[in-house]
Each structure stands twice: as structure tokens, then as C-alpha cells.
Structure 1
Amino acid sequence: PKSMGADAKKAISLTKELTSMATTQNLEALLKLLNRDAKKLAEAAQMMTDKTIPAPIRKPLEKAFNLVFAQVKKLVNAELKAMTVAGNLTDLLNLVVQNEKDLVLIYATMIEETIPATLRKPLEKAFNKVVARIKKLIGKEVLGASELRKLLVSSSSSVITDNNIPEIVSLVGRVLDSANPKAIKEAVSTVRPKILKLIEGQIDRLDELKGTTVQVGTKLDEDEQEFIKKRRLITKGAIESLTGLKNLQPHELPTIAMCASGGGYRAMIGARGFFVGAEDIGLMDTTTYISCLSGGTWATWPYLLKKAKDKGFNTKDAQANLNDTTFPNSNPFLIDNIVKNTEKVRDIAANFFTKYFMNEPITFVDVYGILIGNALLSEMFGNNTYEQALHDMQAYSKTAESPLPIGTAIITNNRVKEWLEVSPFSAGSIYLNSYVSTETFGSRFDKCKITTVLPSQFAGYFLGTFGSAFALNSSDFLDESGLQNERAIGFLIEKELAALNKLLDLPVVGGIIKRLDIPLTQKAVHQVAKRRPLAAELKNFSYNCTGKLKNAENLVMVDAGLAFNLPLPPLVDRKEREVDVICVIDMSGGLQNKKAPAGELLKAVKYFEKKGIPFPVKESDFKDKKINIGFEPCSVFKFSDAEMALLKRTGQRKNNLTVLYFPWCADISSCYDKGDKWCGTFNFNYTSDQVKELAGCMSGNVKKSEGKIKQAIIDSIKDKTKTA
């Protein structure tokens, strides 16, 4: 009838479309329809529960929706049935290869969040059955290491002793010798001493760490509290020197932090340049924290890891080091430095063996971490590259001689996007309401207590997690003009695959990678990379303990850029840190878009609005021509007196928060003169002159803004004095 409402008419139309969709007899065609009509399916799911739509109209819609669900379930189960019941690994792998196209499409569809979860569940269930079958047959036919695994994953510290280490290593050898060809047998014999060393290290840690418990709540751990006390003794003199003020009292000293964004090698180079400028004007010594993300992590963690071993290593040395760590197209990720170095190959193989046999989750990030770790650390640490761990700088951080670095990732279990932080002292999340020591991050916990101590993660693993090129969300695959940059994506993947293929040629390392469920084909990587990151996985320390993921055995993590590109949450959300001044180093792509400037900062503003957390930057600031956000070397934001009065009254903030926003020098003429955009996010190949120009521009911007920086710190001191 003409009086029928628009929603009712829409429901009738959707019923017809879904009924037709449910008659599709080909899985590939049906999945393509699900992706194409995701919006309509979401509307249908919503209308099915809309009581304002008459039941005679809603019921047929619900029936049509259920028909689509039944058809998806029927077709995917039929398609994958042969794989889930394959009797041997050879047959199963042949089926996987034959059906690669369908598997990639199934995976891409099952993680497409715009499609109703109800329709994705049968895909996920069927896909996981195939994965489980692969893992079962790998364990049964290839590795056959159940006896060894029982030894290594036992929660009893008495199982692994000095007496049975030789037995364990011998068993590793027997398992590998029986499963691999002659070339691998020979290589394995050189790896055993490394495995022995790792297992011995685990034994040494068992007694030391077996009483470790999860810290429930967001209170700062004792090490960080002690760090803050010592750091204040250093920042006091530096703040007085920078501002010209004397005899500042403890309660007057502002806590100053830096926030280093993502943005690939551009972000790494720009942040290193900013650090040089900050050191030159005395800002670095006033700083307590450096929160970092992706490329910002690549700038920060390797620099401080090296400084922990060599206190004379400074920001200028770190910038100079970039001339060595950029790599040519012919040698992606400096991979030749691995394959030609027997010592490094042994370290990699031993780490892989130990992690796999101890039943730790292994994902693409383990492989990627080898590559990025080699590229960023090998010139600093040589043959000791693969022995570096994040908690190695713990002793140095306790001296408080440098700012405390905080790496970030996003937890994506159950499709949430919640921030996780890792410092030399602890790792954890407000969302999980729990933290553990960084040394035990990745070990097994149950009911808030450690049950099995696992080997420490190689630093490259976290550098890969914090900044994986495969962990970028879809917007990161847009170039500065906002168009899909297929050429850039393809080029990046091609370079990474070239490096991976060289790893695959190594007898032992390649043998392991080939036997794990890690997608390495270009087609699979390309398809998945466009849709969703390939995540890192570690054991969940909050398992059966506390928080919203206490039922999950593993934490799934990706580059925090999946949320937004500025790691502000550890500095703002974690109120216990009482940060007063934040220097935001924004090296994000598309930052100087005149229609929508500083897009990642705007995302952060909306994040804090949604969380109900006070933040001095407002959405209206982005339209204020006087501020000219994103186009000035430095913009300053703080709460007004009236805003602060309200925040104090409501108990939301004790002191003002000042944000100094430093956008990157996107107007560097040589970057665009030749039309090649060498400063693009996907470029990993910088010349020495380009490094010098980009880093120098960021360093110069700090010096240009010295007056603003000083005044912001002075104003913060005045605010704290008034509060006291």
C-alpha cells in the first residue's frame, strides 16, 4: 500500500534480494555477493529485530537471511570437507595448493567486519578446521615432537634440569634427523649448541621467575615508580637550564613526554632528526617518556638498546647509523647479511626450534621480525643481533639516564581495537586491567600466576609487531592523493617476498618456515594485506585472571596504526603517569591535506571524546585558520582556565595538559620535485642525502620552535605552582 513506510518497503526489497542470493550454488560467487552486498546484509540483520516494521514483513526477511546463512554453511563445508578429513599431510597440502584461491577468499570474507558476524561464523569455523588439521598432521608426520613438547611445556620446574638437557637436545636432533633431508641434518648439528644455550637460559630463569604474578590494576609497577624518582633528579636540572628558572621544587616539575608516530622509514628518520634537535636545545634531558608506534618505534627502541650497551652512543650517532641501515633494492632488509653469516643463521634456527617445540604461537610476524630486526639492529650489534631482547635495557632504564621508551600495539581479539603498551619494565593494557614484567611477556600464565617460563622474545619480534608493513589498515594503503596505491603495495610486498625467499633457501630456517602454517605466496599475502593485518600472537597473561579477555589463551596483536597513528593513550589514558607536556612528532602520510589536515591527530581527538577522557585539542581547532594546524612547525594546545576549573571540580584532571604538535616537513621540495615521492610511507630505500634532508628538517623545526617549547614548559610550571 501507498501508506507503507520506507523501512517496510526496504525490508521487502531486501527479502527478494536475499532469497535470490540464497539460491547461489557456487561458493566463490556467493562469497563475492556477501562482500559486494555487505551493507545490505547489515541492514537486513538490523531490520530483522526492528519491531517498528510489521511482523508479516520482518518474518520473511528473517527467513531469507537464514537461507543465506544455511547456503554459506552448506557450500563452505562441502568445499573444505576433503581438507578437514585428509589422512596424510601430502594429500592435505596438495588440496590446500589446489584450493588456494578459495581459501584466500574465505579468509578475507570471514574477517570482513562489514559483513554480519552471523554469516561469517560458518566460514571461520570451517577455515579453522583446516588449520587445525594442518597443525595436527605437521605435528604427527613432520615433527613428531610430542615427547619433547611434554618436557618443555610442563608447568613443573623440576622437569627440566641440568641432568636432562643433553637428553632434550639429543631428542631435538633425532626428531629433526628423522624428518629432514641430508642438508638439514648437517645444518642441524651446528644449531644444537644454540638450542642448548636457550634451554639452559630457561632453566636459569625458572627459579628466578617461577613466583611471578600478574599485577591487576593500572598502578605503575615498582620499577617505573623508582625510575620516575631518579629521572626527576635529571629533568630538574635540564628544565631549569632550558627555561632559565632556578630552584624549582619537586611539585613544580612538569612530566614531559614525546609521542613518536608511525609512517615507515620516513617516521624513523624524522623522529631521529627530532631527537637530535631536542638534544641540541636541551629538551631530551627534560623528557621522561617516549611513547612510540611503528616507524617511531624503529627510531626509538634500537637507539636506546644500543645506548644501554654503549652510554656514549648519542642521538647524532643514531641518525648517522641510518645511512647504514637503509637498504638497496638488490638487498632487501639487508638479507644477504643473514644468509652469508653462519652465526646469525644458527641463532635464527635455534630461536625457531625452541619456540615451536615449546608450543608457542608462531605467526608471520616471527618471520617478519627476523627481517626487520636484521635491517634495524645488525649494524649496531653485528653477530649479537639475534640475542637482543627488549628487557635487556631494563638495567640501563633503572639508571634513568634516558627517557623510558613505551612501545605500542593493538589487541584485536574478538575484533576489538584496544591499546597495549610495552616498556623495558612491564607490558600490559588498561583494557586487560593487568600488567606483567616484560621479561615474562609471552610466558604462560593461569589464574594470575606464571605456569611456564618461555624464552624471551627477540627484539626484532616486537619491532615487527609494533611496526609491521603487513599490519597496516586499509587507509594506510592510500597514497597522499587518497587513491589506492596498488603499485606501492605490490612493490613493498615484492621486496619483502624477495627477502623471505632467501630465508626459505636456508636449509634449517627454510625447513621450519615451510612446515608452519604461514602464508608466503605473493597472491595470498597481497589479498590478505589489503583486507586485514597478519597479526602477532603471544600467550595471554590475563588468562583466567582478570579483564575482558580472561577466557582467551592467546593475545592477538597488530601495529597500533590500525587504530590511529599517534601513540597518545599510554601518556593520556594512563593517568598514573601524570604527564603534563606532550611533544607529538607526527610523521603520518597525508598530514598536510588542506581539506582535512592532521588526520591522525583528529582520530586521536575523537578517540578521547568517545572514551570521555579530557584532551586539550578540539575538533574545532582543525578549522581555525589562526592555528593553521599541520602547516606550522609547532602548534600549542592546552586547556583554558575555565576548562581546568571544571576538570578540577569534577576530579578529571589535577594539572593542565599541554600538547605541542610537530608535523613533519612534508613540503620538502626535493621529495616531490622529481615526482617520485621518495618520502612516501612505502619507501624503504633512502639515500644518505635524503636521510640528511628529512632528519635535518625535523631537527631544524625543533630549533625554530625553541621559544614555544620553553614558554609551554614555563606555563606548565606556573600551572603546577598554582595547583599546589
Structure 2
Amino acid sequence: MGSGGEKKQLFPVSMVSVRIIKANIITSKDSLSASDCYVTLHLPTASPEKFRTQTIKNSNKPVWNETFYFRVQTEIKNILQLEVCDADPVTKDDVQFVILFDLAKVRPGVTDLELFSIKPEKEERPPNYESLEVEFKLAETSGPLEQLISNGVLVARELSILDVKVKKEENEKLLKAKKNVVLTMRESYEGTQKTSEDVDSFRFHCIKSWGPVLKAKLQSVSREEKNDSHHLLILPLKLLPVGQQVKVALPMEEGGTLELYLKVIDCPQNLDVRLGYELCASEQDFLHKRKKMVAGALNKLFHLRRELLEHEVPVMGVMATGGGVRAMTALYGHLLGLQKLNLLDCVSYITTASGSTWTMTDLYRNIDWSQKSLEERIKVVRSQMLKSKYDIISIERLKYYHKELVERVERGHLPSFTALWALVQEAFLHEKPNYSTLSEQRQALNQGQNPLPIYTAINVKDKNVSTFDFREWVEFSPYEVGFQKYGANIRAEDFDSEFFMGKLVKRIPESRICYLEGIWTNIFCPNLLDGLYWASSPEEFWDRWVKDVTKSEEDEGYVTVYKPPSSGTGKLCEIFNDILTDRPLKGDSHNFLRRLDFDKGYLQQKEFSEWRDTVLDAFPSKLTPVEKSLCLIDIGYFINNSGQPLLKPERNVDILIALDYGINSGFQQTEMMAKYCEVQGIPFPKVDITEEDRKNPKECYVFSDEDNPKAPILLYFPLVNATFKEYKAPGVKRIPSEMNGGEVNLSDDSPYKTMHLTYTEEDFDKLLSLCTYNILCSKDHILQAFQCAIQKKQNIWLGGLNISSA
């Protein structure tokens, strides 16, 4: 299946048999006795169950000769995990070694015999020492074909829906007798469901080709009374007619039956997750409208002889870093500067991270904010900044937070510390709760009247894996929330609803914008390992980061065999790693990629490879689709840079204005971005900084790559107080009484440190004026970048016309 957009196709389902034959020289951790070995088998693309052989006691060469069968779809990546375990009656069983085997190696109609062995490193041992012998056979089944939907990386499989109903009066009788009905379908999203006073109807979503089975039983409602009754009904779904309600009798232990009403429905094949790397239709429509506005603005700026055609209009993106209230204030100043130069109407995208997101979520409450003077809005923000914040943790506020969080969980959202932090943050930033949502920001885009805002976060593992080993860029726009890496997106209003195999299975009301701000700006979400790396020298951090990025090249081998840590030292290392990598104050969101499978050739797809930068990418069983929830954190805990969405080739950004709000960071963020692009093969200009610039940075730097037309022109604005010390406006020197206004403290004892949440009126005004000035005095650089971008696009599309011929 090819990559790019979503494609549907029919494929046969196959059956693979796995015969666990024997093991050789299994060393027991117990020196007093031989091993008591068994083998577990787990193929998550075929079944949620983990199967196991019998235990062969007191043998270092156990023989099983047990066969297990799996229904598999060969068009997806099927990785079988085998674990050789030593049973221990007292402590947890020891895992001797683990095998990850790609079933793509098994040839149809051929018996494949594999000997999995851990190769000893220095000492000579027999070739079958500590090995497992397994036989594989693969054959197509005679059943119906399965329809797959894929973008070349992720694959959605056909679902079946089972509706089950118990008559209300019958359910009431059972409850009075302190009993209820327990329904289980292990192959389904829902798993197990039970009747209660409020629930007598159920829906199960299950993967059709897995051959799902419904199991039902009656059990005691009382927690004190143990009820180990077996399932009284076991019913494969394939025995039920599709689209017809069927009455089934569930036997009761005291005699009689309970009637269950079942109906199987074929799930519609249209997905609620958009699988594709292209821009969504809404964003494409926005760009069409926005380019008309940009063309009009450029016509006024340059007095063109004719208005630019759509394909001649440059796409400009503004990229802001994080930095708490400093970033929020500075972004207001930079946007005000662009507005004063009549350049704000030339911007198509604005991306933000951490504190700079507060500026955008505030502005987009007004549907035509960029068409009005920003100075009025800034007055309101200044007023809020100067107010006392002591009441945000008052008794009344705490009661409000508790009530809000309880109601949020009742609506179906996952409980998390991030939600509490979001409410505290909202109380700090706003006089009253902000009831707007991300999807409502579309109203500010429907005529192309404002730039498209994109908010950024990264998805990480909540424990056991560091940010440096696993992180995935996630972007939020008013249209969609998506993973660039997987080419998977959902509508903004569906974020944090429950999904299974690309289908929306439980709609949850859209969160207020403050809860998303809690994700984008969670200063409490790093683990200890993140802190240790950031606390190290820049060179140490840089070396570690680049090493992790470059080592992501996948191993094309079919088999991975490894020995888990099991010695005392290994266990201690595991415990220490847990402490370092755990995120106790994290946030959880429902995973909209849940249970999507991987295409058999996903590692070879350019779009996936282009954004791949974690060490787990070659192991689909460890990637995000297997997780129940997402762990989304502030992007600043890996790289304080929101520019990744603007590097998406489909957005074709021509000019990138990078606004860096780091204090004394010395070009670090733009150099990291350039290095990231170099390693990933993303077109980006080289960033060369002289020693003089590091000592005495200027307001604006321009970087371009004339040899690569796909690389954007980069205008980099560090947070510096250069000529503003002497000039209150471009070309207008300060008089002696005005010199204090140019003293903006950006040193180590700055009032603008990230953890400072309130400013004096003087400090606020100085930072705002500085950033506005830095844009104003860089007007020529920005205009020249537009001229170069227009000329480049005309050279490509119109065969060499220049700006004067327009």
C-alpha cells in the first residue's frame, strides 16, 4: 500500500501456526535446582491474549511440542513476542530471554524452522546454548477478504459492533436479588461491561477478523460475597446474523433463563481519524482565502503593477518559543510591531509553545483581532498582569477547582494533575473563566482574516522511557489535532474523546481552551532525567541529543533477541531508571491512535522516516497506538521551539520569522532547530553565527540557502536590548530624560525570568516596547525577504520573471 493519502483495499486473512518445540541449556537463576521453564506468546495484532505453554519442571532442556494458532493479516506488521520464563513459586517468575520475531519472514506454504539464540560475546559456547527452537507455518484461510484503510504507515481494520440489551424489568429483578449480568468480549475496545441501576444496554466494538467471542455470566453485586461462577454463555459473533436482533437465553443457576437481545452491526468503514499527510480540506480552503489577503497586503507594500497570482504568494510563518509570561508579553510586542508595519496581514501561520500560547488563545477570542489595533487588547492584558494573584489559591477558588474537576471526570475525561494546573493558570491569566474552545477559533479563520494558529506539544512515555529516547511532535490547530509522524489527525472538537481502530467510540464534550493550555504550558511535567540533562552543560546536552537523533536508523533485521536485566544490579538499575523517568505530575488524554496497526512497510515510507527521531520506531509494539492514553507535555522540556509544524513540506513555508524568548540563550534554539533539520534531512538554511554576534547580538539575522529552493528564508529575532538602549524608535534617539526607558534588564537577575509570574507596569511596558522596536527597526530585512520569496516563486512558476515585472 502506498503512502500519502488514505487508501482502501481488500486483502485475504491468513493463519499462522507457531509450534514451540524445545529449548536448550536454560540457565536457572536458582543455583540449587534446574529451570522450571515455560514460554509465553503474544501477537498483539492478532489477539489481546498472552498464551503460554505448559511448565516443564526441573529441566535445562525442556521439550514442549505445543502448537498455537493466530489469524493474521499479512499486510500489516506482525511482531510475535516470545518470552522464555523460569517459574518461581515464591517470587515473580524470571524472564530468561525475550524474542521479537517479524512474521513477514515466514513464507506461505513453507515450514520455517527457527533457532533463536543469544550469541555469547567473548566466551565460546555451543551454537544452541540458551536457545529456543520454533516452527512456523503460514497459510491463507478461505474466509472473506478484509478491507484495510491505510496511509502507508498506519492501518485501520474492519470493526464489528455488537449491541446487547437486557430488559429493564428483568435487570431490576436481578439487582433486587443482588446480582448483575457481566458481559465480556476480550477482543473489543470495551472489554468487560456490567449491568447496573442505570445501565442495561451495551455496545462492543471489536476487530472483525479476530473472530470475537461474547461471554456472559451472572454474579453477585456484593463485594463481600465471592462469586467464582463460570461463564454461562459463550457465543462467537460469527454465528449471529448481521443486522438482525437475536434473542439468546442466559441460563440462571437457580433455574430458568435470562433473555439477552443481541444485534451485530457492520461498522461503517469511513474513519473518524484522518489518515493522510496532506493538509486537511479546511486548511487548504483557509490558505486559498488567506493568500488573497496576503496578495492585497503585498500589493500595497510594494505597489505592484498587478496583483500576485495565488501560486506566486509567499507563505510566511511566525514561530514563537516559550518562556512563561515573558514569552506572552514579548509576542504581543512583536505582533504589534508587525501590525504597525502593515505586515501582520502578510502572515499565514503563527506557531507557539508554552507561554507564547497564552497570547494566541487570548487574541483568538476575537474573530477579527488582527484587523483591529492590538494596543487596546494589550491594555487589558497589562491590567490583569498587575493585579494581585494571592486569591488563586483561596478556599473559594479551591472549592471551585474541585467542583470543576469532578464534573470534568464525570463527562468522561481522564483525571490528571494537568487539569488542576490548567484551572490555576486560568485564574492567574484571566479575571473570569474562558469558556471558549479550540474549534471555536475557526470563526476567526472563515474568511482568511487572521493567520492560522498552531499550538505545539510533545507526546512522551509517562514512565520507564526518557524524553531523549521517545518524543513525538503533536500539533493543535482549530481544524485538527494530529501527529506529523504518523499522518494521523482528528477534528479539534474530538480531541480527548475515545477512539478505537480509527473510529470514534465515545464522544466526550470538547474541553475548554484552558485545559489545552494546561497541556501546552505544564511546567510540572518533566521527569528527573530531563532536568539532569538540561542542568548539564550545553555541550553535554547537545551531544546526547544529537546522538539519540542519529541512532534512530532502524535495524532491518527480522529478529531481536535480548536478555532482560535479572541480576541484583539489573533490578537496582531498573528501580533507579523508574525514579528518573517517572512523571508523577503528568496529564493523560484519551489516545485517538489506539489499536491502529502498522503497515508492513511503514519504516520505508518517506513521510514516517522524515519525522522519525526516537529509538523505538522500529518496534511497533512500543509505539503510541498500543497506549491507552497519550502523555502530552510542554514542548519546552525537549526543545523550546514551535517551528516543527511549519517545516511540514505540504505547508510550503517560504519565510520563517523565528522569535526567540530565551534569556541569555545565545542563539541556542535556532541552532538546535537547524541541527535537527540537518539530521532529519529537512530543507533549512545553515545558521552561521560569528563570535562577535554571540558577544553583541543584533535585533535580527537573516539566513537563507540559495542552492536549495525548498529551504525557507529564516529571519531570527533573539531577545536582545541592542540599539533600543539609545533609540526609542527607529532613527529617533533618546534624550537624556528618556534613557531609563531603554534599560531593559535581560541579565541573570532579570525580572523576566520564566518563574516570575507578575511584572511591574514599568517592566511590562519596557519588554513590550523593546519587542515592538526590534521588529520596527528590522523592516528592511523583512521586506527584502518578501522580495526574494516572491522572485523565487515567480522563477519557479513563471520561468524567471522578477519583482519589477509584477
TM-score range, shorter chain: 0.5 to 0.7
> Does 2:464 correspond to 1:395?
no
**Aligned partners of 1:290 and 1:406 also within 8 Å:** yes
In structure 2, the CA distance between the partners of 1:308 and 1:431, relative to structure 1 (3 Å rule), is same
Q: In the alignment, does 2:451 pair up with 1:406?
A: no
Shift of 1:408: 0.4
Q: Counterpart in 2 of 1:331?
A: 389
Q: Is the 8 A contact 1:216 1:546 kept in 2?
A: no
Counterpart residue type for residue 598 of structure 1: F
Q: Which whole-Å CA distance do the structure 2 matches of 1:50 and 1:242 have between them?
A: 69
The separation in 1 between residues aligned to 2:754 and 2:794, in whole angstroms, is 43
For the Cα contact (< 8 Å) 2:370–2:450, is it kept in 1?
no
Aligned in 2, Cα 1:242/1:425: closer, same or farther, shift over 3 Å?
A: same
Residue aligned with 2:314, SS:
coil
Give the Å deviation of 1:411: 0.6
Q: Is this contact kept in 2: 1:370–1:460, CA < 8 A?
A: yes
Deviation at 1:613, TM superposition (A): 1.2
Cα separation, 1, equivalents of 2:460 and 2:700: 34
Contact 2:685/2:713 (<8 A) preserved: yes
Contact 1:223 1:398 in 2 (8 A): no
- For residue 613 of structure 1, the aligned residue among 663, 666, 682 is 682
Select the residue among 764, 772, 785 that pairs with 1:691.
Answer: 764
> Which residue number in structure 2 is paired with residue 636 of structure 1?
702
Deviation at 1:680, TM superposition (A): 1.3
* TM-score normalised by the chain length of structure 1: 0.58
Alignment pair present for 1:700 and 2:773:
yes
Per-residue CA deviation, residues 403-456 of structure 1 (Å, 9 max, x unaligned), is: 111000001036511110000110001123200000001101111111110021
Q: 1:482 to 1:605 in 2, by over 3 A?
A: closer
Q: Which residue in 2 is equivalent to 1:276?
A: 336
Aligned equivalents of 2:328 and 2:285: distance in 1? 29
For 2:78, the equivalent position in structure 1 comes to none
| TM-score in terms of structure 2 length | 0.53
User: 1: distance between equivalents of 2:368 and 2:196?
Assistant: 39
Q: Report the alpha carbon displacement of residue 366 of structure 1 after superposing the two structures with TM.
A: 0.4
Structure 1 counterpart of 2:718, from 663, 686, 692 = 663
Cα offset, 1:467, TM superposition? 1.1
Cα distance change on mapping 1:674 and 1:395 into 2, 3 Å: closer
1:367 aligned partner, one-letter code: L
Please tell me whether the aligned partners of residues 321 and 659 of structure 2 are also in contact (alpha carbons under 8 angstroms). Answer: yes
Three-state SS of the structure 2 residue aligned to 1:393 is helix
Are residues 260 and 427 of structure 1, via their aligned partners in 2, closer, same or farther at CA, if it must alter by over 3 Å?
Answer: same
- Residue 513 of structure 2 is matched in structure 1 by 459
Out of 637, 654, 666, the residue aligned to residue 580 of structure 1 is: 654
Per the alignment, in what secondary structure is the counterpart of residue 757 of structure 2? coil
Distance of 1:252 and 1:630 partners within structure 2: 37
Structure 2 counterpart of 1:551, from 623, 626, 645: 626
Larger deviation, residues 365-374 vs 674-683: 674-683
Q: Which has the higher contact order (CA 8 A, sep 6+)?
A: 1
Change (3 A) 1:422 1:630: farther
Mapped pair 1:434 → 2:491: no
Residue by residue over 1:30-65, the C-alpha shift from the partner in whole angstroms, topping out at 9 and shown as x without a partner, is xxxxxxxxxxxxxxxxxxx99664469xxxxx9xxx
Which whole-Å CA distance do the structure 1 matches of 2:519 and 2:443 have between them?
Answer: 23
Partner of residue 71, structure 1: none
| Candidates 281, 288, 293, aligned match of 2:348 | 288
Which of these residues, 651, 667, 673, is aligned with residue 604 of structure 1?
Answer: 673
Instruction: Confirm or deny that 1:356 pairs with 2:409.
Output: yes
2:789 alignment partner AA: S
8 Å Cα contact 1:543/1:550 also seen in 2? yes
The count of aligned residue pairs is: 470
Asked if the contact 2:370–2:449 (Cα under 8 Å) also holds between the matched residues in 1, the reply is no
Cα 1:537/1:608, change in 2 over 3 Å: same
Q: Measure, in 2, the Cα distance between the counterparts of 1:637 and 1:463.
A: 32
Read off the aligned partner of 1:576 and give its amino acid letter. E
Query: What's the secondary structure of 1:266's corresponding residue?
Result: helix
Q: CA deviation at 1:313?
A: 5.5
Distance (Å, rounded) in 2 between the aligned partners of 1:542 and 1:722: 42
Task: Decide whether the 8 Å contact of 1:231 with 1:288 is kept in 2.
Answer: yes
1:374 maps to 2:427: yes
Q: Deviations over 1:318-348 (max 9, x none)?
A: 32233233266x625x516x8658xx966x5
Q: Residues 487-636 of structure 1: matches in 2 within 5 Å?
A: 534-546=585-597, 548-572=623-647, 574-591=648-665, 597-618=666-687, 621-622=688-689, 624-625=690-691, 631-636=697-702
3-state SS of paired residue (1:636): strand
> Higher helix fraction: Structure 1 or Structure 2?
1
What is the aligned-residue RMSD (CA, Å)?
4.0
How far the C-alpha of 1:365 sits from its partner, in A, is 0.5
**Residue 152 and residue 307 in structure 1: after superposition, are their counterparts in 2 closer, same or farther (change >3 A)?**
farther
Percent identical pairs in the alignment equals 23
Give, as a single letter, the amino acid of the residue that structure 2 aligns with 1:214: V
Q: Distance in 2 between matches of 1:266 and 1:149?
A: 50
Tell me the equivalent position of 1:301. 361
Aligned amino acid, residue 796 of structure 2:
T
Partner of 2:631, secondary structure, is strand
Partner Cα separation in structure 2 for residue 258 and residue 213 of structure 1:
30
CA distance in 1, matches of 2:513, 2:659: 23
CA distance in 1 between counterparts of 2:697 and 2:746 reads: 19
Alignment partners' CA distance in 2, 1:567 and 1:240:
30
Contact 2:344-2:370 within 8 A present in 1 as well: no
The alpha-carbon distance between structure 1 residues 462 and 613, as it changes in their structure 2 partners (threshold 3 A), is same
Question: Is the alpha carbon distance of 1:628 and 1:397 closer, same or farther for their aligned partners in structure 2, counting shifts above 3 Å?
Answer: same
Deviation at 1:214, TM superposition (A): 0.6
Tell me the residue number matched to 1:254: 314
Residue 477 to residue 371, structure 1, CA distance change in 2 (3 Å): farther
Report how far residue 600 of structure 1 moved: 1.6
For structure 2, list consecutive stretches of 5 or more residues without a partner in the other structure: 1-117, 131-193, 206-267, 541-577, 599-622, 726-741, 798-806
Q: Which residue of 2 aligns with 1:139?
A: none
Contact conserved, 1:391 with 1:424, CA < 8 A, in 2? yes
* CA distance in structure 1 between the partners assigned to 2:384 and 2:201 by the alignment: 37
Q: Which residue of 2 aligns with 1:196?
A: none
For residues 155 and 578 of structure 1, do their structure 2 counterparts lie closer, same or farther at Cα, with a shift above 3 Å needed?
farther
| 1:250-284 CA-partner distances (Å, limit 9, x unpaired) | 22110011001011111111111001001100111
What is the CA-CA distance between 1:528 and the residue it aligns to?
8.6
Once the two structures are superposed, what CA deviation does each residue of 1:678-710 show, in whole Å capped at 9, x if it has no partner? 011211121111111011101000000000000
Structure 1 residue 354 displacement after superposition: 3.5
One-letter amino acid of the counterpart of residue 243, structure 1: F
Query: How far has the Cα of 1:629 moved from its partner?
Result: 9.3
SS in 2 for 1:565: coil
Match of 1:474 in 2: 531
Aligned partners of 2:445 and 2:389: how far apart in 1? Answer: 34
Once the two structures are TM-superposed, the CA of residue 240 in structure 1 deviates from its matched residue by: 2.1
1:240-251 equivalences under 5 Å are: 240-247=299-306, 248-251=308-311
Whose strand fraction is larger, Structure 1's or Structure 2's? 2
- Asked if the contact 2:591/2:627 (under 8 Å) is kept, the reply is yes
Structure with larger Rg: 2
Residue 626 of structure 2 aligns to a residue whose secondary structure is coil
Match of 1:420 in 2: 474
| 1:375 CA drift (Å) | 2.2
1:171 aligns with none
Secondary structure class of the residue paired with 1:282? coil
User: Structure 1's 582 and 366: CA in aligned 2 closer, same or farther, altered over 3 A?
Assistant: same
